[in-house]
Amino acid sequence: MKKIIPVFILGMFFVACCSKTEVQSDPLQDNSQFVTLTDAVPDAILEIRYFGTYNFVGSRIDGYQQPTALLTRVAADSLRAVSNDLMALGYRLKIYDAYRPQCAVDHFVRWAANLADTAMKPYFYPDLDKSVLFEQEYIMEKSGHTRGSTVDLTLFDMRTEKEVDMGGTFDWFGPESHPDFCGDPLTGEYNADNSSSPAGRSITAEQFANRMILRNAMMRHGFKPLDSEWWHFTLATEPFPDTYFTFPVKQL
């Protein structure tokens, strides 16, 4: 006698298969064109701020499951060329952030909307009222990092075995983070009078020059800078200019 499989079981099996296929084919979850950054740039040092609590939110950020960094393959290849150049000058790259999933950006948005939470204000935005973070675009609903070819980084001096002094911390909300703060990034000329700091801050000629070392190396290998953050660079020929990925940050 043939076994008769109830119709509702067949239906459940079909739905399950379709659901599984749908999840697997979600392009926003597809990390096949990404690599673990340190596989491509083995000399890079990682300090993934959003995996820990020393960041402007003050807690681990959603989507950062491991303290690692991911980039698209093409961006990682270009960053390796940057690293090779800077290694010859006695520097290593120190990475603060790379690919950032959309849920992490959503976490930033929720935090910014909670005006009562100012625990990290003294460290990252002492000159600003938290209510202006959306208006001044320090927090936005979309980030270039989520497209996978943007990296936040600085330099590490192999001679002194210390992070290079850039005259300001990563994720500082203010004009002090602008590449043209106290100088002209197009000419590389330092100008202490070119300061728009609301608190009268400035950086030294050496600190400005250090920023330019990083900037010039990144631009030589196809990365474009951001006019509000000296540490932020995006591959000009990024492969996913309109895709905001959702897979978590963890070792690939």
What Å distances lie between residue 143 and 21, 66, 112, CA to CA? 28, 20, 15
22, 47, 135, 229: the catalytic one is 229
Asked if 229 is an active-site residue, the reply is yes
Write b or e for each residue in 140-156: b if 16 or more Cβ atoms lie within 10 A of its Cβ, otherwise e: eeebbbbbbbbbbbbbb
Strand partners, 156: 92, 163
Query: 189 Cβ partners below 8 Å, 6+ apart?
Result: 183
How is residue 33 written in tokens?
Answer: 């064109």
Please state, in angstroms and rounded to a whole number, the distance separating the CA atoms of residues 98 and 85.
20
Cβ proximity of 146 and 100 under 8 Å: yes
Catalytic residues: 229
